[in-house]
Structure 1
Amino acid sequence: MMSVTSIARNKVLPFLRKSTKMQSTASLSSLVKLEEKQGYAVVSMQKTPVNSLSLEMIQALSQSLIELEKNKCKGIILTSACPGIFSAGLDIREMYQPTDDRLNQFWSSLQTLWLQLYGSKMATVALINGHAPAGGCLLAMCCDSRIMLNGKSKIGLNETKLGIVAPSWFKDTFVNTIGVRQSERALQLGSLFSPEEALKIGLVDKLVPDMETATAVAEAELKEFLQIPGMARYLSKMKIREAAIKDLSETREADLNQFVNFAKTDAVQKGLGLYLQSLAKKN
């Protein structure tokens, strides 16, 4: 009988190959910076101004993980090279008046990235050095540990405030991180938490006062994970995560169709259009 992990990998690999063909090495390095160190790597998102998760950005992150696994990297620190922002989440422009092909590629690529990162054999630490709403929060929750810079930044799944419903695998990741009741309330209200609030509910594991301290703490946290025998650590993680991974692996086409149909409804398109107008006025 195949393990859940094997099932997930068999369903992810075809999408990884497609993504790899679509992105060149040059475009990858312009969006994601890889600094390979002894036994681990720092993965820095650098899509100015806010690391919005466009199709290209999502595929660049996927390719980064492929590259690191190919190089037998044992762990990563996921962070941002953009001051004051970890990631602003999914690029709304990908969902507003999209072509069918682009929208399908966008969501399929996001599914793939989540399956890769949430089920990674590498030890993963998120160094959250700025705002992390929606998809930014999802990326952080996919990691094994979250270190957040203290201050005015916010983190959470705020999709409902845009008239969007977080899909089941977002919900599963949230529940596995902060528990059922906190997730139920936060998902309905689209709550964004301060660093102190996030620490209190377990959305982040540690707060740090500045970037110099943050880097040192993230490295120490990663090294603590890497001291554990790799297979034992990974299989222990999968005891918690495998049900969610199996669920998406087996239903990703249905999830894709559900998202595409929902995103194209008049109500959602109107809400996204108004939101983009409000951003334009701010700029």
Structure 2
Amino acid sequence: MVVELDESTGIAVLKMKNPPVNTLSLELLTEFSISLEKLENDRGCRGLILTSAATKIFSAGLDINEMCGKSMEHYAEFWRALQEMWLKLYNSSMVTIAAINGTSPAGGCLMAMSCDFRIMAENPKYSIGLNETQLGIVAPFWFKDTMVNTIGNRATERSLQLGLLYSAPEAYKIGLVDQLVPEENIQSAAATVATQWLTIPDHARQITKSMMRKPTVDRLLTHRESDIQNFVSFITKDSIQKSLRMYIEMLK
């Protein structure tokens, strides 16, 4: 993670830097949560722009290598780190803007949806969505809840069952992203939106955000351990491990 805080505006830029495609490894997830917590505790920071240090890719999602050929303890640790990242980002008191400067499937899409506002590069070659079913895996309930809160129930059901990846224009049309801008303008556009949101008194905005998001957050907090157990029991199945190994070979 690369963190840059502009003290004059109170807006931090958090760039994912895990070449080549910003996969969400255990290390990145852990570092992300630590970075976010530090910014939350910094009174000089009121806004966050989340983006990628890479070109053409925001984040390729969960690191498949973390889910294949490892111990049950490792799987549990990895999943807990993913939960922690989402809880901190989705529940952040800061204004959070996703500057999606490339393709963003699966876990990358989750990160973007967890922000308050999403700006995507206006490039039809870039896509975003929760495509888990295409890999033979199932998006967890809190992924689903986050998407329902973003685009509604019917669009989410269709998206999840078919594992759809939407092009940037399609994502804008269904409300998965809020704004499309030319790629070279994405950072300045994100800064402009963050500044607009920060004109609202912090306490009023934060209480409203918490009111809207608390039921979704509380649902994971209530079922956190069972969610970890479900993931571990699912990912350790021979059939799932086999399909993940095949997918890794295909990627190579």
What TM-score results when the alignment is normalised by the length of structure 2? Answer: 0.97
CA drift of 1:35 comes to 0.4
Is 1:57 the counterpart of 2:28 in the alignment?
yes
Structure ranking higher in strand proportion? 2
CA drift of 1:210 comes to 2.1
CA drift of 1:116 comes to 0.5
In structure 1, the partner of 2:139 is 166
Counterpart amino acid of residue 139 in structure 2: A
Partners of 1:176 and 1:240 within 8 A in 2: no
In structure 1, the partner of 2:113 is 141
Counterpart amino acid of residue 161 in structure 1: Q
CA drift of 1:216 comes to 1.3
Structure ranking higher in helix proportion? 1
Counterpart amino acid of residue 165 in structure 2: L
Q: Distance in 2 between matches of 1:97 and 1:210?
A: 38
SS in 1 for 2:166: coil
In structure 1, the partner of 2:210 is 238
Count of residues in correspondence between the two structures:
248
In structure 2, the partner of 1:204 is 177
Q: Distance in 2 between matches of 1:173 and 1:98?
A: 28
CA drift of 1:240 comes to 2.1
Is 1:278 the counterpart of 2:245 in the alignment?
no
User: How do 1:245-260 residues align onto structure 2 when only pairs under 5 Å count?
Assistant: 245-260=217-232
**Higher mean displacement: 189-198 or 264-273:** 264-273
SS in 2 for 1:48: coil
Is 1:261 the counterpart of 2:233 in the alignment?
yes
In structure 2, the partner of 1:44 is 15
In structure 2, the partner of 1:155 is 128
SS in 1 for 2:93: coil
Counterpart amino acid of residue 215 in structure 2: A
Q: Distance in 2 between matches of 1:231 and 1:157?
A: 33
Q: Distance in 2 between matches of 1:70 and 1:143?
A: 18
In structure 2, the partner of 1:97 is 69
Counterpart amino acid of residue 34 in structure 1: V
Unaligned runs of 5+ in 2: none
Q: Distance in 2 between matches of 1:274 and 1:224?
A: 47
Is 1:185 the counterpart of 2:158 in the alignment?
yes
Q: Distance in 1 between matches of 2:25 and 2:115?
A: 20
Unaligned runs of 5+ in 1: 1-31
Partners of 2:51 and 2:100 within 8 A in 1: yes
Q: How far does the alpha carbon of each residue in 1:57-116 deviate from its partner, in whole angstroms, 9 at most, with x for none?
A: 000110110111122211100000011100000000111111122111100011111110
Q: Distance in 2 between matches of 1:267 and 1:154?
A: 28
Counterpart amino acid of residue 111 in structure 1: Q
Moved over 3 A (4+): none
Counterpart amino acid of residue 56 in structure 2: G
CA drift of 1:234 comes to 1.5
How much identity, in percent, do the aligned residues show?
51
Is 1:75 the counterpart of 2:47 in the alignment?
yes
1:110 to 78, 82, 90: 82
What TM-score results when the alignment is normalised by the length of structure 1? Answer: 0.86
Q: Distance in 2 between matches of 1:235 and 1:268?
A: 42
RMSD: 0.8
Partners of 1:160 and 1:187 within 8 A in 2: yes
